Structure 1
Amino acid sequence: MTALVVGIDGGGTGTRCVVATHGGEVAGRGHAGGSNALSSAAPEAALRTALRAALGGLPADRVTAGVFALAGSGPAGERAGAMVAEVWRACGLAGPPVVVPDTLAAFAGATAEPSGTVLVAGTGAVATRVTEWRLTARADGYGWIVGDEGSGVWIGRRAVRAVLAALDGRAGPTALRDAVPGGGVAERIVDAVHTGVAEAGPAWLARLAPAVEEAARAGDAAALDIVREAAGRLLAAVRALGPSPGPLVLAGSLLSEPTLLAELVRGGLGGPGLTVLTARSGDAGARGAAALALRRSRPGAPAPVSAHRRLIS
């Protein structure tokens, strides 16, 4: 059997793994719950589950490289690296895997160009510049407590605040009241949020984002304000990086799906000659991570370029 590489894309609400051949063909897939090192409830277990499912009956000794693209891996630092190393060993794989930010895999999952910009809005949010397959600049991506503006968690928290403000008279009524757990009682809402975050991590708040989308499309003023502000903050992150050669990739569920937020962000982008690409949903990030693993496994060889394109096509 041909040599294999592993690519994992670990976000706040889901983890996807792809095992690929050196020729760019997918040999195995796996998925599990969230594995954001900062916000997911059980990231190590999710990584192990997704990796084992993707490996299936494939021979572990054929794996030559692995790239784990993890949300929150930057701030988590050494903790994320130690977690990945333990998962790698537990699955019987040799050699050191590499941990990279999920934004790099999102970029590689949409294009084989070596440089450009990527804007991610899913559970978290960040804008980064990519130069020759390295992240050279970043705006936001600081985690749900102090950053990730425009993300699913940010939107969910704004929804809760809008409902609480409506209930105690600081703002007008909103249809979001029916979407936030707690039965429209402020104290119960606060308790439900604290319980949800404690049990499932901050990513629990991102579950409210689809309800905000639906209410905004129906014309709810509070929901519209949230979505418009989210778009503005995401665009501000991209603009903070300045112009860059190469394409701009929009990634993450809030921008890769046909959402109102994606429409507003696209409408706010401009610039002569700017190529805007939308990352595919599903396992595109894992494919991008596998493509990065191919490049690490065979540095400088021409074959990984064509294999990269085949893998993400």
Structure 2
Amino acid sequence: MTAVVVGVDGGGTGTRCVVATESGEVAGRGRAGGSNVLSAADPGESLRAALRDALEGVAGARVAGGVFALAGAESARERAESLVSGVWRACGLDGRVEIVPDPLAAFAGATAEPSGTVLIAGTGAMAARISGRRLTARVDGHGWLLGDEGSGVWIGRRAVQAVLALLDGRAAPTALLDAVAARVAAWETGEAGVPPGEEAATAATLTPWRVVRAVHGGISAAGPAWLGRLAPAVEAAAGDGDAAALEIIREAAGRLVSTALALGPGPEPGAPGGSGPLVFAGSLLTGPTALAAMVRTGLGDAAGTVVAARDSAAGAAALALHAVLPDALAAHRKLIV
């Protein structure tokens, strides 16, 4: 019976699971809602759903081990361990399971190199150095309330602040008003109910208290990732030349560049990753975004070789292969192609 391993990538907005064979073939995939242990509404249920989905048709006895890369796990280690062990047992699995920082899986999902640097900008944001497939240094990743500068949530919060300044008469008009009004309207009609005597919010009827009400309600119901859903609208407005949106994207890029450079030189002179690549991870850096272009420009020669992340769940599975096989390099390369 051929053994398989499990890799899980749990972020603020989604959880993905990959089941891989010893030769690097994908035997199953699963998806569910967010499982950031600090901010997701029900991370345990998301982990269970993704794992069960991926393991459909796979005998539990075949599972030799697993790696869970969970956002927020380093700040809430005990809770993360309790969640993972409970989910693992609930799915009838006995193999060795390990929790690793999510930047490690992002790096391993982009390259089979053992060392380098990863810069992440998605729901959250951080930079990390990887040495021998272990995270050895990190900058930021302190969560949406205290850090994650340049992240999707950070950008969304800045967009709301820009609109509140406009509504207060403290700032010039911005196209972000339409985007924030649409988010408020979506929350009112879908979750909270439109205030008595009012219609769903529009750019013309939006008021500061409705914005504040929607933001607090949205975060309470869906976690801070609710704010991150505004990031694509900020990107689009910046692309159309909106001054407020451009300023937000420029500031986000500057903060991400500072985060990456704060790691200092790598183990060898030169780029932040030393002799290894710099992996861009997270939807804000892996897509053709203005933010990604600004970050590349801001890093300049310090970036070295830049590789875009592909599949962090496959990266977690690759790490699980390295834990159970004496030589998993070929399987790792095959798995992340």
SS in 1 for 2:138: strand
Q: Match of 2:334? A: 310
Within the alignment, does 1:241 sit opposite 2:263 as a pair? yes
Contact 2:63 2:95 in 1 (8 A): no
Per the alignment, residue 216 of structure 1 pairs with 238
When residues 162 and 272 of structure 1 are mapped into structure 2, their CA distance, relative to the original with a 3 A threshold, is closer
The alignment partner of 1:67 has SS state of strand
Q: State the 1:269 CA deviation.
A: 1.9
CA contact (8 A) 2:118 2:127 kept: yes
1:200-240 Cα shifts (integer Å, max 9, x gaps): 01111100001101111011111111111000000001000
Provide, for residues 18-43 of structure 1, a one-character-per-residue CA deviation record: whole Å limited to 9, x for no partner.
Answer: 00001000000000011111111111
Please give the residue correspondences for 1:188-199 in structure 2 after superposition, counting only pairs within 5 Å.
Answer: 188-199=210-221
Tell me if structure 1 keeps the 8 A contact 2:127–2:138: yes
Q: Which residue of 2 aligns with 1:64?
A: 64
CA RMSD of aligned residues (A): 1.1
Counterpart of 2:316? 289
Equivalent residues of 2:280, 2:308 under 8 A apart: yes
Give the aligned residue type for 1:185: T
- 1:33 corresponds in structure 2 to 33
Aligned residues: 307
Residue in 1 aligned with 2:285?
255
Which 4+ stretches in 1 moved above 3 angstroms? none
Distance 1:27 1:154, change over 3 A: same
Q: 1:64-87 CA distances to partner (integer Å, 9 max, x unpaired)?
A: 010000111111111111101101
Q: Give the letter aligned to residue 59 of structure 2.
A: P
Percent identity among equivalent residues?
Answer: 66
Cα separation, 2, equivalents of 1:234 and 1:32: 28
- Does 2:298 align with 1:268? yes
Letter in 2 for 1:309: R
Query: Residue 280 of structure 2 aligns to which amino acid in structure 1?
Result: L
Larger radius of gyration: 2
Q: Aligned AA for 2:264?
A: G
Check conservation: 2:64, 2:96, Cα contact below 8 A. no
**SS in structure 1 opposite 2:123?**
coil
2:35 is paired with a residue of what secondary structure? coil
Tell me what 2:10 maps to. Answer: 10
Structure 1 alignment gaps of length 5 or more: none
Is the 1:85–1:96 contact (alpha carbons within 8 Å) kept by the matching residues of 2?
no
Mapping for residues 113-152 of structure 1, pairs under 5 Å: 113-152=113-152
Structure 2 residue matching 1:270: 3-state secondary structure: helix
1:226 aligns with 2:248: yes
- Secondary structure class of the residue paired with 1:156: helix
**What is the aligned counterpart of 1:187 among 185, 209, 218?**
209
Give the superposition deviation at 1:145. 0.5
Which amino acid in 2 is paired with 1:205? L
Q: Which residue of 2 aligns with 1:86?
A: 86
The verdict on how the C-alpha distance between 1:157 and 1:272 changes in structure 2, with shifts beyond 3 A counting, is closer
1:278 and 2:308 matched: yes
> Which amino acid counterpart does residue 281 of structure 2 have in structure 1?
A
Question: In structure 2, what residue type is equivalent to 1:202?
Answer: P
Per the TM alignment, residue 173 of structure 1 is displaced from its structure 2 partner at its CA by: 1.2
Shift of 1:96: 4.0
Q: Equivalents in 2 of 1:209, 1:97: separation in Å?
A: 34
Instruction: State the SS of the aligned residue for 1:31.
Output: strand
Question: 1:207 and 2:229 equivalent?
Answer: yes
**Offset of 1:243 from its aligned partner?**
2.0
Q: 1:273 to 1:17 in 2, by over 3 A?
A: closer
Instruction: Give per-residue Cα distances to partners, 1:284-313, cap 9 Å, x unaligned.
Output: 000000000001112xx23x0000000001
Give ranges in structure 2 of 5+ residues lacking alignment. Answer: 185-200, 267-273
Describe the SS at the equivalent of 2:95: coil
CA distance in 2, matches of 1:262, 1:115: 22
Residue 272 of structure 1, CA deviation: 6.7
Q: Deviations over 1:141-160 (max 9, x none)?
A: 00000000000000111110
Structure 2 length as normaliser, TM-score? 0.89
